[in-house]
Structure 1
Protein backbone atom coordinates (compact mmCIF):
# COMPACT_ATOMS: atom_id res chain seq x y z
CA UNK A 1 0.00 0.00 0.00
CA UNK A 2 1.32 3.42 -0.93
CA UNK A 3 1.83 6.07 1.77
CA UNK A 4 -1.04 8.14 0.32
CA UNK A 5 -3.45 5.18 0.33
CA UNK A 6 -2.27 4.16 3.78
CA UNK A 7 -2.96 7.66 5.09
CA UNK A 8 -6.44 7.72 3.50
CA UNK A 9 -7.32 4.31 4.89
CA UNK A 10 -6.14 5.32 8.35
CA UNK A 11 -8.18 8.52 8.22
CA UNK A 12 -11.31 6.60 7.22
CA UNK A 13 -10.70 4.06 9.96
CA UNK A 14 -10.37 6.78 12.58
CA UNK A 15 -13.24 8.81 11.18
CA UNK A 16 -14.24 12.24 12.44
CA UNK A 17 -16.73 11.19 15.08
CA UNK A 18 -14.29 10.41 17.94
CA UNK A 19 -12.69 13.88 17.70
CA UNK A 20 -16.11 15.47 17.56
CA UNK A 21 -17.34 13.51 20.55
CA UNK A 22 -14.20 14.55 22.44
CA UNK A 23 -15.03 18.19 21.71
CA UNK A 24 -18.59 17.68 22.87
CA UNK A 25 -17.50 16.00 26.09
CA UNK A 26 -14.94 18.73 26.77
CA UNK A 27 -17.61 21.40 26.27
CA UNK A 28 -19.97 19.63 28.66
CA UNK A 29 -17.27 19.44 31.34
CA UNK A 30 -16.33 23.09 30.86
CA UNK A 31 -19.97 24.16 30.92
CA UNK A 32 -20.62 22.42 34.23
CA UNK A 33 -17.72 24.33 35.77
CA UNK A 34 -18.67 27.72 34.34
CA UNK A 35 -22.39 27.38 35.09
CA UNK A 36 -21.58 26.34 38.66
CA UNK A 37 -19.26 29.33 39.10
CA UNK A 38 -21.30 32.01 37.34
CA UNK A 39 -24.86 30.77 37.02
CA UNK A 40 -26.75 30.78 33.75
CA UNK A 41 -26.82 34.55 33.32
CA UNK A 42 -23.15 35.07 34.22
CA UNK A 43 -21.88 32.31 31.98
CA UNK A 44 -21.26 33.11 28.33
CA UNK A 45 -20.74 30.94 25.30
CA UNK A 46 -17.30 32.50 24.87
CA UNK A 47 -16.23 31.79 28.45
CA UNK A 48 -17.36 28.17 28.21
CA UNK A 49 -15.63 27.69 24.87
CA UNK A 50 -12.46 29.31 26.22
CA UNK A 51 -12.49 26.98 29.23
CA UNK A 52 -12.85 24.04 26.84
CA UNK A 53 -10.15 25.38 24.51
CA UNK A 54 -12.39 25.37 21.44
CA UNK A 55 -14.01 27.90 19.14
CA UNK A 56 -17.29 29.39 20.43
CA UNK A 57 -19.05 28.22 17.25
CA UNK A 58 -18.73 24.67 18.56
CA UNK A 59 -21.36 25.40 21.22
CA UNK A 60 -23.99 26.13 18.59
CA UNK A 61 -22.77 23.26 16.45
CA UNK A 62 -23.21 20.64 19.17
CA UNK A 63 -25.96 22.10 21.37
CA UNK A 64 -27.79 24.73 19.34
CA UNK A 65 -27.62 27.43 22.00
CA UNK A 66 -26.42 28.24 25.50
CA UNK A 67 -29.79 27.00 26.77
CA UNK A 68 -29.30 23.66 25.04
CA UNK A 69 -25.83 23.30 26.51
CA UNK A 70 -27.11 24.24 29.97
CA UNK A 71 -29.80 21.58 29.79
CA UNK A 72 -27.40 18.80 28.83
CA UNK A 73 -24.48 19.84 31.01
CA UNK A 74 -26.23 20.72 34.24
CA UNK A 75 -29.81 19.54 34.28
CA UNK A 76 -29.53 16.50 32.01
CA UNK A 77 -33.16 17.04 31.02
CA UNK A 78 -34.40 15.20 27.92
CA UNK A 79 -35.50 18.35 26.07
CA UNK A 80 -34.35 21.69 24.78
CA UNK A 81 -35.73 24.47 27.05
CA UNK A 82 -36.14 26.88 24.14
CA UNK A 83 -38.14 24.33 22.15
CA UNK A 84 -40.32 23.51 25.17
CA UNK A 85 -41.04 27.19 25.77
CA UNK A 86 -42.12 27.59 22.15
CA UNK A 87 -44.33 24.50 22.42
CA UNK A 88 -46.14 25.43 25.62
CA UNK A 89 -46.84 29.01 24.51
CA UNK A 90 -47.86 28.17 20.91
CA UNK A 91 -51.62 28.09 21.61
CA UNK A 92 -51.86 31.31 23.57
CA UNK A 93 -52.38 32.03 27.29
CA UNK A 94 -55.61 30.06 27.73
CA UNK A 95 -53.97 26.67 27.09
CA UNK A 96 -50.72 27.17 28.95
CA UNK A 97 -51.61 24.81 31.80
CA UNK A 98 -52.47 21.81 29.65
CA UNK A 99 -49.56 22.41 27.29
CA UNK A 100 -47.08 22.56 30.17
CA UNK A 101 -48.28 19.34 31.81
CA UNK A 102 -48.53 17.46 28.52
CA UNK A 103 -45.14 18.63 27.28
CA UNK A 104 -43.21 17.88 30.46
CA UNK A 105 -44.77 14.46 30.96
CA UNK A 106 -44.27 13.50 27.31
CA UNK A 107 -40.55 14.35 27.57
CA UNK A 108 -40.04 12.72 30.96
CA UNK A 109 -42.11 9.61 30.19
CA UNK A 110 -40.16 9.20 26.97
CA UNK A 111 -36.93 9.10 28.96
CA UNK A 112 -38.39 6.57 31.37
CA UNK A 113 -38.29 9.06 34.23
CA UNK A 114 -34.67 8.16 35.00
CA UNK A 115 -33.44 11.63 34.05
CA UNK A 116 -35.78 13.31 36.51
CA UNK A 117 -34.86 10.87 39.28
CA UNK A 118 -31.15 11.46 38.68
CA UNK A 119 -31.71 15.20 38.77
CA UNK A 120 -33.61 15.06 42.06
CA UNK A 121 -30.93 12.90 43.62
CA UNK A 122 -28.21 15.30 42.51
CA UNK A 123 -30.12 18.21 44.03
CA UNK A 124 -29.92 16.64 47.48
CA UNK A 125 -26.13 16.46 47.37
CA UNK A 126 -24.95 19.21 45.02
CA UNK A 127 -25.86 22.84 45.57
CA UNK A 128 -25.13 23.80 41.97
CA UNK A 129 -27.73 21.31 40.74
CA UNK A 130 -30.39 22.91 42.94
CA UNK A 131 -29.33 26.36 41.76
CA UNK A 132 -29.43 25.16 38.17
CA UNK A 133 -32.93 23.73 38.57
CA UNK A 134 -34.20 26.97 40.07
CA UNK A 135 -32.61 29.03 37.32
CA UNK A 136 -33.94 26.80 34.58
CA UNK A 137 -37.53 26.39 35.79
CA UNK A 138 -38.14 29.69 37.60
CA UNK A 139 -35.83 32.24 35.98
CA UNK A 140 -35.98 30.98 32.42
CA UNK A 141 -38.70 28.46 31.61
CA UNK A 142 -41.60 29.87 33.62
CA UNK A 143 -40.32 33.42 33.46
CA UNK A 144 -40.60 33.01 29.69
CA UNK A 145 -44.11 31.59 30.04
CA UNK A 146 -45.32 34.44 32.27
CA UNK A 147 -43.77 36.98 29.92
CA UNK A 148 -45.50 35.44 26.91
CA UNK A 149 -48.81 35.46 28.79
CA UNK A 150 -48.39 39.03 30.03
CA UNK A 151 -48.95 37.94 33.62
CA UNK A 152 -49.00 40.20 36.63
CA UNK A 153 -46.84 39.09 39.60
CA UNK A 154 -44.64 37.08 37.20
CA UNK A 155 -42.05 36.01 39.78
CA UNK A 156 -44.66 34.59 42.16
CA UNK A 157 -46.54 32.87 39.34
CA UNK A 158 -43.33 31.37 37.95
CA UNK A 159 -42.40 30.01 41.38
CA UNK A 160 -45.84 28.48 41.88
CA UNK A 161 -45.61 26.74 38.50
CA UNK A 162 -42.18 25.36 39.37
CA UNK A 163 -43.49 23.85 42.62
CA UNK A 164 -46.30 22.13 40.73
CA UNK A 165 -44.02 20.67 38.06
CA UNK A 166 -41.38 19.51 40.56
CA UNK A 167 -44.06 18.00 42.78
CA UNK A 168 -45.62 16.20 39.83
CA UNK A 169 -42.25 14.74 38.87
CA UNK A 170 -41.49 13.69 42.44
CA UNK A 171 -44.82 11.90 42.83
CA UNK A 172 -44.74 10.18 39.44
CA UNK A 173 -41.08 9.18 39.11
CA UNK A 174 -39.43 9.26 42.53
CA UNK A 175 -42.10 8.31 45.10
CA UNK A 176 -44.10 6.50 42.40
CA UNK A 177 -47.39 7.25 44.10
CA UNK A 178 -50.26 5.31 42.59
CA UNK A 179 -52.41 5.87 40.68
CA UNK A 180 -50.40 8.92 39.68
CA UNK A 181 -47.31 6.92 38.71
CA UNK A 182 -49.12 4.86 36.09
CA UNK A 183 -51.84 7.30 35.01
CA UNK A 184 -51.92 8.15 31.32
CA UNK A 185 -50.78 11.62 30.31
CA UNK A 186 -54.22 12.96 29.43
CA UNK A 187 -55.55 11.96 32.85
CA UNK A 188 -52.69 13.90 34.41
CA UNK A 189 -53.37 16.87 32.14
CA UNK A 190 -57.04 16.95 33.15
CA UNK A 191 -56.18 16.81 36.85
CA UNK A 192 -53.20 19.16 37.06
CA UNK A 193 -53.54 21.64 34.20
CA UNK A 194 -56.33 23.71 35.82
CA UNK A 195 -54.11 24.39 38.83
CA UNK A 196 -51.23 25.48 36.62
CA UNK A 197 -53.58 27.62 34.55
CA UNK A 198 -54.80 29.39 37.69
CA UNK A 199 -51.21 29.95 38.81
CA UNK A 200 -50.51 31.62 35.47
CA UNK A 201 -53.64 33.55 34.53
CA UNK A 202 -56.09 33.23 37.40
CA UNK A 203 -56.62 35.06 40.68
CA UNK A 204 -53.86 34.22 43.17
CA UNK A 205 -54.76 37.01 45.57
Structure 2
Protein backbone atom coordinates (compact mmCIF):
# COMPACT_ATOMS: atom_id res chain seq x y z
CA UNK A 1 0.00 0.00 0.00
CA UNK A 2 1.46 3.33 -1.03
CA UNK A 3 1.33 6.42 1.14
CA UNK A 4 0.07 9.85 0.14
CA UNK A 5 -3.19 11.30 -1.15
CA UNK A 6 -5.34 9.24 -3.57
CA UNK A 7 -4.81 10.05 -7.20
CA UNK A 8 -8.27 11.59 -7.42
CA UNK A 9 -7.55 14.28 -4.84
CA UNK A 10 -6.55 17.77 -6.01
CA UNK A 11 -2.91 18.63 -5.72
CA UNK A 12 -2.14 20.84 -2.73
CA UNK A 13 -1.53 24.48 -3.62
CA UNK A 14 1.51 26.38 -2.49
CA UNK A 15 1.08 28.53 0.57
CA UNK A 16 0.39 32.20 -0.05
CA UNK A 17 -1.23 31.78 -3.46
CA UNK A 18 -4.97 31.77 -4.24
CA UNK A 19 -6.50 28.54 -5.36
CA UNK A 20 -7.36 28.11 -9.00
CA UNK A 21 -11.06 28.11 -8.10
CA UNK A 22 -10.71 31.45 -6.31
CA UNK A 23 -8.65 33.01 -9.08
CA UNK A 24 -11.15 31.90 -11.70
CA UNK A 25 -13.90 33.87 -9.98
CA UNK A 26 -12.42 36.83 -11.81
CA UNK A 27 -14.17 40.22 -11.93
CA UNK A 28 -16.90 39.28 -9.44
CA UNK A 29 -14.34 38.47 -6.76
CA UNK A 30 -12.26 41.53 -7.56
CA UNK A 31 -15.33 43.78 -7.28
CA UNK A 32 -16.31 42.16 -3.98
CA UNK A 33 -12.85 42.87 -2.59
CA UNK A 34 -13.06 46.51 -3.73
CA UNK A 35 -16.49 46.92 -2.15
CA UNK A 36 -15.16 45.52 1.11
CA UNK A 37 -12.08 47.73 0.92
CA UNK A 38 -14.14 50.89 0.49
CA UNK A 39 -16.26 50.00 3.50
CA UNK A 40 -13.23 49.15 5.63
CA UNK A 41 -11.36 52.34 4.72
CA UNK A 42 -14.53 54.36 5.28
CA UNK A 43 -15.22 52.92 8.72
CA UNK A 44 -11.67 52.47 10.03
CA UNK A 45 -9.47 54.84 8.05
CA UNK A 46 -6.21 53.87 6.36
CA UNK A 47 -4.19 53.23 9.52
CA UNK A 48 -6.59 50.75 11.11
CA UNK A 49 -7.54 48.92 7.93
CA UNK A 50 -5.60 45.75 7.12
CA UNK A 51 -5.47 43.43 4.13
CA UNK A 52 -6.62 40.64 6.43
CA UNK A 53 -9.64 42.71 7.50
CA UNK A 54 -10.52 43.47 3.89
CA UNK A 55 -10.23 39.80 2.99
CA UNK A 56 -12.46 38.78 5.90
CA UNK A 57 -15.10 41.34 4.94
CA UNK A 58 -15.00 40.13 1.32
CA UNK A 59 -15.19 36.46 2.30
CA UNK A 60 -11.84 35.53 0.74
CA UNK A 61 -8.36 34.82 2.04
CA UNK A 62 -5.65 37.45 2.25
CA UNK A 63 -3.65 35.80 -0.53
CA UNK A 64 -6.42 36.60 -2.98
CA UNK A 65 -6.36 40.30 -2.06
CA UNK A 66 -2.60 40.33 -2.71
CA UNK A 67 -3.16 38.39 -5.91
CA UNK A 68 -5.46 41.05 -7.38
CA UNK A 69 -4.05 44.25 -5.89
CA UNK A 70 -0.70 43.72 -4.14
CA UNK A 71 -0.09 45.88 -1.07
CA UNK A 72 -2.57 47.73 1.13
CA UNK A 73 -1.51 50.97 -0.56
CA UNK A 74 -2.42 49.50 -3.95
CA UNK A 75 -5.78 48.32 -2.63
CA UNK A 76 -6.42 51.81 -1.30
CA UNK A 77 -5.49 53.42 -4.62
CA UNK A 78 -7.82 51.10 -6.53
CA UNK A 79 -10.67 51.84 -4.10
CA UNK A 80 -9.97 55.58 -4.23
CA UNK A 81 -9.92 55.64 -8.03
CA UNK A 82 -13.39 54.12 -8.23
CA UNK A 83 -14.82 56.29 -5.44
CA UNK A 84 -13.27 59.42 -6.94
CA UNK A 85 -14.46 58.59 -10.47
CA UNK A 86 -17.43 61.03 -10.48
CA UNK A 87 -15.13 63.95 -9.64
CA UNK A 88 -12.77 62.92 -12.45
CA UNK A 89 -15.50 63.87 -14.90
CA UNK A 90 -15.03 67.51 -13.84
CA UNK A 91 -12.79 68.43 -16.83
CA UNK A 92 -15.78 67.75 -19.08
CA UNK A 93 -17.53 70.67 -17.36
CA UNK A 94 -15.01 72.99 -18.99
CA UNK A 95 -15.89 71.72 -22.47
CA UNK A 96 -19.65 72.09 -22.10
CA UNK A 97 -19.66 75.80 -22.86
CA UNK A 98 -17.56 78.94 -23.23
CA UNK A 99 -14.72 79.66 -20.82
CA UNK A 100 -16.65 82.67 -19.51
CA UNK A 101 -18.93 80.34 -17.55
CA UNK A 102 -16.44 77.63 -16.58
CA UNK A 103 -16.21 78.81 -12.97
CA UNK A 104 -19.89 78.24 -12.32
CA UNK A 105 -20.01 74.93 -14.19
CA UNK A 106 -17.00 73.53 -12.33
CA UNK A 107 -18.19 74.80 -8.94
CA UNK A 108 -21.66 73.39 -9.44
CA UNK A 109 -20.27 70.03 -10.59
CA UNK A 110 -17.78 69.53 -7.74
CA UNK A 111 -20.16 70.64 -4.99
CA UNK A 112 -22.85 68.49 -6.59
CA UNK A 113 -20.61 65.44 -6.19
CA UNK A 114 -20.30 66.26 -2.48
CA UNK A 115 -24.04 66.93 -2.14
CA UNK A 116 -24.97 63.42 -3.27
CA UNK A 117 -24.88 60.90 -0.38
CA UNK A 118 -23.85 58.14 -2.80
CA UNK A 119 -20.59 59.92 -3.66
CA UNK A 120 -20.09 61.92 -0.45
CA UNK A 121 -19.58 58.88 1.80
CA UNK A 122 -16.61 57.38 -0.11
CA UNK A 123 -15.12 60.85 -0.63
CA UNK A 124 -15.25 61.48 3.12
CA UNK A 125 -13.37 58.21 3.67
CA UNK A 126 -10.71 59.26 1.17
CA UNK A 127 -10.23 62.71 2.70
CA UNK A 128 -10.10 61.42 6.27
CA UNK A 129 -7.53 58.78 5.35
CA UNK A 130 -5.42 61.31 3.44
CA UNK A 131 -5.45 63.76 6.35
CA UNK A 132 -4.33 61.16 8.88
CA UNK A 133 -1.81 59.11 6.92
CA UNK A 134 1.03 60.20 4.63
CA UNK A 135 0.83 57.07 2.48
CA UNK A 136 -2.86 57.65 1.86
CA UNK A 137 -2.15 61.34 1.25
CA UNK A 138 0.47 60.46 -1.38
CA UNK A 139 -2.01 58.23 -3.20
CA UNK A 140 -4.63 60.98 -3.07
CA UNK A 141 -2.19 63.63 -4.34
CA UNK A 142 -1.08 61.40 -7.20
CA UNK A 143 -4.65 60.73 -8.22
CA UNK A 144 -5.76 64.37 -7.99
CA UNK A 145 -2.68 65.78 -9.72
CA UNK A 146 -2.50 63.26 -12.57
CA UNK A 147 -6.14 62.56 -13.29
CA UNK A 148 -7.95 65.75 -12.31
CA UNK A 149 -5.81 68.90 -12.17
CA UNK A 150 -3.61 68.09 -15.16
CA UNK A 151 -6.66 67.31 -17.28
CA UNK A 152 -8.27 70.61 -16.36
CA UNK A 153 -5.04 72.53 -16.98
CA UNK A 154 -4.65 71.06 -20.47
CA UNK A 155 -8.00 72.54 -21.43
CA UNK A 156 -7.11 76.08 -20.35
CA UNK A 157 -5.53 78.26 -23.01
CA UNK A 158 -3.94 80.57 -20.45
CA UNK A 159 -0.48 80.99 -18.89
CA UNK A 160 0.29 79.04 -15.69
CA UNK A 161 -2.59 76.68 -16.38
CA UNK A 162 -1.49 74.07 -13.83
CA UNK A 163 -1.24 76.64 -11.03
CA UNK A 164 -4.61 78.08 -11.97
CA UNK A 165 -6.22 74.64 -11.87
CA UNK A 166 -4.66 73.93 -8.47
CA UNK A 167 -5.88 77.24 -7.05
CA UNK A 168 -9.41 76.54 -8.29
CA UNK A 169 -9.26 73.06 -6.79
CA UNK A 170 -7.96 74.42 -3.48
CA UNK A 171 -10.91 76.83 -3.35
CA UNK A 172 -13.43 74.03 -3.89
CA UNK A 173 -11.72 71.46 -1.67
CA UNK A 174 -11.51 73.99 1.14
CA UNK A 175 -15.23 74.69 0.90
CA UNK A 176 -15.99 70.96 0.80
CA UNK A 177 -13.87 70.37 3.91
CA UNK A 178 -15.61 73.12 5.88
CA UNK A 179 -19.11 72.27 4.67
CA UNK A 180 -19.13 68.47 4.58
CA UNK A 181 -16.27 67.28 6.81
CA UNK A 182 -15.82 69.84 9.59
CA UNK A 183 -19.41 71.14 9.17
CA UNK A 184 -18.74 74.74 10.10
CA UNK A 185 -21.89 76.83 10.42
CA UNK A 186 -23.43 78.69 8.72
CA UNK A 187 -21.60 77.26 5.70
CA UNK A 188 -22.72 73.69 6.47
CA UNK A 189 -26.40 74.66 6.34
CA UNK A 190 -26.24 77.36 3.68
CA UNK A 191 -28.27 76.95 0.49
CA UNK A 192 -26.18 75.40 -2.28
CA UNK A 193 -27.26 78.03 -4.82
CA UNK A 194 -26.10 80.79 -2.50
CA UNK A 195 -22.69 79.13 -2.18
CA UNK A 196 -22.38 78.65 -5.94
CA UNK A 197 -23.28 82.29 -6.56
CA UNK A 198 -20.54 83.50 -4.21
CA UNK A 199 -17.82 80.97 -5.06
CA UNK A 200 -18.16 80.59 -8.82
CA UNK A 201 -16.74 84.08 -9.65
CA UNK A 202 -13.68 83.32 -7.49
CA UNK A 203 -13.11 79.99 -9.25
CA UNK A 204 -13.60 81.75 -12.59
CA UNK A 205 -10.94 84.25 -11.63
CA UNK A 206 -8.48 81.50 -10.75
CA UNK A 207 -8.99 79.77 -14.10
CA UNK A 208 -9.27 82.61 -16.60
CA UNK A 209 -8.59 85.89 -14.77
CA UNK A 210 -5.66 88.18 -15.54
TM-score by length of 2: 0.60
Map of 1:106 onto structure 2: 112
Deviations 1:64-94 (A, max 9, x none): xxxxx99861256364345332134311322
TM superposition shift of 1:177: 1.4
TM superposition shift of 1:165: 1.8
Provide the aligned length of Structure 1 versus Structure 2.
152
Q: Is the 8 A contact 1:71 1:81 kept in 2?
A: no
Partner Cα separation in structure 2 for residue 168 and residue 137 of structure 1: 17
After alignment, is 112-121 or 70-79 more displaced? 70-79
CA RMSD of aligned residues (A): 3.2
After alignment, is 138-147 or 172-181 more displaced? 138-147
Deviations 1:153-204 (A, max 9, x none): 022112212211220111101121122112222211111111111111112x
Q: Closer, same or farther in 2 for the Cα pair 1:165/1:137, shift >3 Å?
A: farther
* Structure (1/2) with the larger helix percentage: 1
Q: Which residue, 124, 148, 160 being the options, matches 1:153?
A: 160
- Residue 149 of structure 1 aligns to a residue whose secondary structure is coil
Q: Closer, same or farther in 2 for the Cα pair 1:90/1:70, shift >3 Å?
A: farther
Q: Is the 8 A contact 1:78 1:107 kept in 2?
A: no
Q: Is the 8 A contact 1:171 1:177 kept in 2?
A: yes
Q: Is the 8 A contact 2:87 2:110 kept in 1?
A: no
Q: Is the 8 A contact 2:88 2:147 kept in 1?
A: no
Partner Cα separation in structure 2 for residue 25 and residue 156 of structure 1: 38
Structure 2 residues without counterparts, runs of 5 or longer:
1-24, 38-65, 70-74
Partner Cα separation in structure 2 for residue 141 and residue 78 of structure 1: 10
Query: Is 1:84–2:90 an aligned residue pair?
Result: yes
Map of 2:191 onto structure 1: 184
TM-score by length of 1: 0.61
